[in-house]
């Protein structure tokens, strides 16, 4: 137990080395976890299972280009699932745009910045493996999702079905309930498998059941907000395609964190945001809309403006070509420019390499937290991502977050009961709120160690300085005992 305490202090940089005490990332248990074969169930994994993906030089450069680390290098940021610290090129792109806009005016600056405003379409098309005209820029991921869903809702009739995941996000599920009130569509939850992820075989079975109503939509959250689970988007897409059912994927937490290719997945719509793992601005999102699906089904959102359609005659309008029909004229133009810079930055870093490092760090964290008494890790999934959720027995998640913040470790809390209600109701004893530490490629092993040590301090329920002093005292006592034992052995010899 003392050795485990010392290891946490060693990683946190508050104790001298005691050989041989390897860091968690090189321990036998951890190496077995990290180097196990990558599961075929993942929708997005690359073929190379090596760790950790990015070199030390690349990680240090990314941190040096992140103002949050330059201005306050002692703070460890673990909230990329909420709002990730942006790199300097993203911040500079927005500030430069705003500076020009302040001098020239909004319309004039937009006219002069056509190249920068086109950039997010090109970079997202590269990242997602689609065409530029299949990308729409929106005010948020939620607005992107709602635009896509509203275009499909026009096809719903009473008794039809919408199939959704158990880990569905609250905003999406509220929209399902509203659609059910308006159209009489039935919302059906797809069963989960033993790992907690969407069961593709169960999806196939329910779509094959002729006794049930016609399925109009399969709508899935790729990565839920309150867990490290990654749903098998590719397997789900194959089943949806087999049955000819439109497929909407909420990729808010996955785009930027892991490789996502819309053609491999087979989705008809995909939504995402700038502020999370893409490390972009808040208040901006995007929608992928498969061109052939939009054209074949003549899909248009419930409401369009003069940007998404043209007023042809007094009584007629014409939707814009491609995904542009899902856009509205007014967005934050500075944020749009920042989004382009953020996606370009992610493409330059390499999403696949970043994903391998993120998984490596997240698994390091899970292994370390499981070694701390009364800390419970709650993540599900055969494949797990950079989101790590846990609770500390006897301590409120909000108090844990505050204690970690005092130690310079920024995490967040996630309300499972509200955000993913079906997951909360899945099993008795599921916590209402969890601590959420969302790891990204710019985090380091030292920061992981600080988080683990701080979580141990939260468990003890004492001031972190007192905890550190206590552990140092125990460590000193251990050294004295070890020296005494060694001296006794020498006398016997």
DSSP string, 208-240: H-TTSPPEEEEEEESS-TTS-B---HHHHHHHH
pLDDT at position 399 is 96
Give residue 349's pLDDT. Answer: 96
**Which pair of structure tokens corresponds to residue 350?**
């390499």
Strand ranges inside 251-330, DSSP E? 269-273, 285-289, 309-313, 316-319
Instruction: Identify the pLDDT of residue 430.
Output: 82
Residues 6+ positions from 32 with CB-CB distance below 8 Å: none
Which H or E run contains 206?
helix 200-208
Instruction: Report the pLDDT value the prediction gives residue 485, as an integer from 0 to 100.
Output: 66
- Mind listing the domains of the chain with CATH numbers? 26-86+350-456 (3.90.1150.10), 90-296+330-348 (3.40.640.10)
Our measurement of the distance from residue 90's CA atom to the centroid of its chain's CA atoms, rounded to an integer in Å, reads: 19
Residue with tokens 């086109």: 118
CA distance 86 to 130: 25
Q: How far apart are CA 493 and CA 487, in angstroms?
A: 10
Burial (Cβ within 10 Å: 0-12, 13-18, ≥19) of residue 193: middle
Question: What is residue 158's predicted lDDT score, i.e. its pLDDT?
Answer: 97
Residues 270, 145: contact at Cβ < 8 Å? no
Cα–chain center distance at 367: 20
**How far is 317 from 115, CA to CA, in rounded Å?**
29
Distance CA(479)–CA(488), nearest Å, equals 14
What is the C-alpha end-to-end distance of the chain, expressed in Å?
A: 30
pTM of the model: 0.83
The per-residue pLDDT for 419 is 75
Angle between helix axes 351-370 and 333-349 (nearest 10 degrees) is: 80
- Confidence (pLDDT) at 17: 41
Q: Walk along the chain (493 residues) and give the pLDDT tens digit of each residue.
A: 444 444 554 454 444 443 332 333 333 333 333 333 333 223 333 334 445 799 999 999 999 999 999 876 689 999 999 999 999 999 999 999 999 999 999 999 999 999 999 999 999 999 999 999 999 999 999 999 999 999 999 999 999 999 999 989 989 999 999 999 999 999 999 999 999 999 999 999 999 998 999 999 999 999 998 899 999 999 999 999 999 999 999 999 999 999 999 999 999 999 999 999 999 999 999 999 999 999 999 999 999 999 999 999 999 999 999 999 999 999 999 999 999 999 999 999 999 999 999 999 999 999 999 999 999 999 999 999 999 999 999 999 999 999 999 999 999 999 887 777 777 777 777 888 999 999 999 999 999 999 999 998 876 655 545 455 555 555 555 666 666 666 666 555 6
At residue 184, the pLDDT reads 97
Provide the pLDDT for residue 157: 96
C-alpha 32/C-alpha 325 separation (Å) is 49
């Amino acid at each position: 137990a003392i050795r485990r305490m010392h290891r946490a202090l060693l990683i946190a940089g508050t104790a001298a080395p005691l050989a041989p005490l390897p860091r968690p990332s090189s321990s036998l248990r951890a190496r077995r976890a990290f180097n196990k074969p990558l599961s075929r169930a993942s929708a997005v994994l690359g073929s190379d299972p090596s760790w950790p993906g990015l070199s030390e030089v690349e990680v240090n450069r990314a941190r040096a280009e992140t103002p949050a680390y330059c201005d306050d290098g002692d703070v460890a940021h673990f909230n990329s699932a909420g709002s990730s610290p942006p790199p300097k090129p993203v911040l500079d792109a927005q500030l430069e745009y705003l500076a020009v806009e302040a001098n020239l005016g909004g319309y004039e600056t937009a006219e002069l910045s056509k190249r920068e405003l086109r950039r997010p379409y090109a970079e997202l098309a590269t990242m997602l493996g689609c065409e530029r005209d299949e990308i729409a820029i929106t005010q948020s991921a939620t607005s992107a999702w709602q635009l896509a869903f509203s275009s499909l809702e026009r096809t719903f009739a009473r008794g039809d079905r919408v199939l959704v995941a158990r880990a569905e996000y609250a905003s999406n599920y509220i929209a399902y309930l509203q659609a059910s009130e308006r159209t009489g569509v039935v919302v059906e939850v797809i069963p989960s498998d033993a790992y907690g992820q969407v069961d593709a075989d169960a999806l196939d079975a329910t779509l094959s059941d002729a006794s049930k109503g016609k399925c109009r939509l399969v709508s899935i959250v790729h990565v839920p907000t309150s867990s490290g689970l990654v749903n098998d988007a590719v397997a789900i897409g194959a089943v949806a395609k087999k049955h000819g059912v439109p497929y909407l994927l909420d990729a808010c937490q996955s785009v930027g964190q892991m490789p996502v290719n819309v053609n491999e997945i087979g989705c008809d719509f995909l939504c995402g945001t700038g502020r999370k793992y893409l490390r972009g601005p808040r208040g901006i999102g995007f929608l992928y809309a498969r061109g052939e699906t939009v054209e074949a089904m003549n899909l248009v959102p419930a409401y369009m403006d003069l940007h998404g359609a043209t007023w042809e005659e007094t009584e007629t309008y014409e939707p814009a070509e491609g995904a542009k029909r899902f856009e509205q004229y007014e967005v934050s133009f500075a944020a749009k420019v920042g989004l382009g810079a953020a996606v370009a930055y992610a493409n330059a870093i390499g999403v696949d390499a970043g994903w391998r490092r993120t998984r490596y760090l997240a698994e390091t964290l899970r292994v370390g937290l499981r070694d701390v008494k009364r800390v419970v890790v709650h993540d599900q999934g055969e494949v797990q991502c950079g989101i790590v959720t846990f609770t500390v027995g006897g301590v409120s998640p909000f108090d844990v977050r505050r204690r970690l913040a005092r130690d310079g470790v920024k995490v967040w809390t996630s309300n499972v009961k509200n955000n993913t209600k079906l997951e909360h109701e899945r099993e008795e004893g599921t916590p209402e709120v969890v601590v959420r530490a969302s790891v990204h490629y710019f985090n380091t092993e030292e920061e992981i160690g600080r988080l683990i040590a701080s979580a141990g301090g939260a468990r003890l329920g004492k001031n972190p300085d007192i905890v550190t002093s206590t552990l140092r005292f125990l460590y000193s006592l251990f050294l004295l005992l070890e020296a005494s034992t060694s001296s006794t052995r020498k006398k016997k010899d």
